[in-house]
Amino acid sequence: MAIVSISLKNRLLEEIDDLRRDVGFSGRSEVVRAGLRMLLEEHNQKSMLSGRVDALLLLIHDEKSFEDISRIRHRYQRVIKMQLHSHLENDKCLEVMLLNGDAGDVKKITDDYQANRRIHNIKLVII
């Protein structure tokens, strides 16, 4: 097995340790491997999409990133059928978008949001 070195912020490392204890993983590497497997599975499912797609896109982001979120949203407004914005604690926001459109556009909007470092969490749910 190859050994890979990564840099993590202390808070993320603490969360990994909490998850390891809560779920019963044997070590940090096992937590990271499980997370990577989940990310790869989501990516593979997204890459297989074709035709017209109905989906929900969920985002959690910094309140300060509103302009970034808005810029991407306007670029893909042809596939966004509904959007809900809600303020959360700790200066974070939740966006829920109902998408309907070409699978390529659904993939692109998801990828564009995922590439933004101010987005803490993104989840695409195919309906």
- If one counts the domains in the chain, the total is 2
Residue 60's domain spans which residues? 51-126
| Judgement on whether residues 65 and 105 belong to the same structural domain of the protein | yes
| Judgement on whether residues 58 and 118 belong to the same structural domain of the protein | yes
| Judgement on whether residues 23 and 83 belong to the same structural domain of the protein | no
In angstroms, the CA 5 to CA 8 distance is: 10
Tell me, yes or no, whether 18 lies in a domain.
yes
- The residue that leads in pLDDT, 1 or 58, is 58
| Judgement on whether residues 41 and 71 belong to the same structural domain of the protein | no
Find the mean pLDDT for residues 76-104: 96
Highest mean pLDDT: which range of 42-51, 52-61, 65-74, 117-126: 52-61
pLDDT reported for residue 30: 94
pLDDT reported for residue 47: 83
Asked if residue 45 has pLDDT above 90, the reply is no
| Judgement on whether residues 28 and 66 belong to the same structural domain of the protein | no
pTM: 0.73
Mean per-residue pLDDT of the chain: 93
